[in-house]
């Protein structure tokens, strides 16, 4: 599962420069980009301005308890994988960390196998989070462009089909008009109504005729 991390962004909160340098040299083998922060303030800023997929944090940063940062994250994000690094076995800190739904609580020095196992678990968590349940019973994996039927059958989608499903998801309780589809799939290129009808026909043949409903003179909506 590690290959799925190649497009992921990590926030790494660590104030020990030597440890951080060595640790990031290893992490860079598996992830797309690492945002290294040395203070809670900079970590908050990165979290607000960047798309972060995984958080790895030392438990103490410049004598500040980083668990307070993680507790703040968990108030609004209960799913992001969080890995805590600690230089001691403090029972008090461990007990405080238990309710935070951590992917792992690793003691320094971190062993290679422990890190790999933890990254694998993070990858599996991210994959599970990518599955969006649709109101018609299907599930959609946006990252891998895959649709799963009610019975669990896998349907691979191309780029336009993925964009169409995303458009339907964005407007689950509304009718998606032809103009909205032209914009999302063809960026208002000169496309005929027949081309759209052909696309809908091929799409229905692939995913099932009841996946979407036609609303006469208006457009389409997600089936129920």
pLDDT value at 22 more than 90: yes
Identify the DSSP state of 83. E
pLDDT band at 149 (very low <50, low <70, confident <90, very high): confident
Same fold for the pair 2-129 and 132-222: no
**82: its two tokens:** 């969080």
Spatial distance between the Cα atoms of 214 and 200, rounded to a whole number of angstroms: 10
**23: its two tokens:** 């640790």
Cβ-contact 223, 136 below 8 angstroms: yes
Q: Model pTM greater than 0.85?
A: no
**pLDDT at 2 (0 to 100):** 77
Spatial distance between the Cα atoms of 138 and 222, rounded to a whole number of angstroms: 10
Residue 82 phi, psi dihedral angles, 5° rounding: -125, 130
pLDDT value at 1 more than 70: no
Q: How is the chain split into domains, by residue range?
A: 2-129, 132-222
Write down the CATH number for the domain with range 132-222.
Answer: 1.10.10.10
Spatial distance between the Cα atoms of 140 and 181, rounded to a whole number of angstroms: 19
What CATH fold (topology level) applies to the domain 2-129?
Rossmann fold (3.40.50)
**pLDDT at 170 (0 to 100):** 84
Return mean pLDDT, the chain.
Answer: 89
Cβ-contact 165, 199 below 8 angstroms: no
- Hey, what long-range contacts does 104-110 have (CB within 8 A, 24 or more apart)? 108/19, 110/23, 110/85
pLDDT value at 6 more than 80: yes
Which of these ranges, 20-24, 74-78, 127-131, 162-166, has the smallest mean pLDDT?
Answer: 127-131
**pLDDT at 154 (0 to 100):** 86
């Amino acid at each position: 599962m590690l290959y799925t991390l190649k497009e992921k962004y990590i926030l790494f909160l660590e104030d020990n420069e030597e440890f951080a340098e060595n640790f990031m040299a290893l992490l860079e083998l598996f992830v797309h980009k690492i945002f290294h922060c040395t203070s809670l303030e900079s970590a908050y800023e990165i979290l607000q301005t960047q798309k972060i997929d995984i958080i790895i944090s030392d438990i103490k940063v410049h004598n500040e308890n980083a668990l307070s940062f993680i507790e703040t994250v968990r108030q609004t994000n209960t799913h992001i994988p969080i890995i805590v690094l600690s230089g001691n076995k403090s029972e008090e800190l461990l007990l405080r960390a238990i309710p935070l739904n951590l992917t792992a609580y690793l003691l320094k020095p971190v062993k290679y196998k422990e890190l790999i196992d933890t990254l694998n678990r993070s990858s599996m968590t991210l994959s599970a989070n990518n599955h969006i349940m649709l109101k018609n019973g299907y599930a959609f994996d946006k990252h891998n462009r895959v649709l799963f039927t009610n019975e669990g059958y896998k349907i691979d989608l191309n780029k336009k089909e993925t964009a169409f499903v995303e458009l339907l998801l964005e407007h689950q309780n509304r009718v998606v008009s032809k103009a909205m589809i032209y914009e999302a799939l063809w960026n208002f290129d000169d496309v005929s109504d027949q081309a759209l009808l052909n696309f809908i026909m091929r799409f229905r043949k692939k995913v099932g005729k009841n996946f979407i409903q036609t609303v006469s003179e208006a457009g389409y909506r997600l089936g129920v």
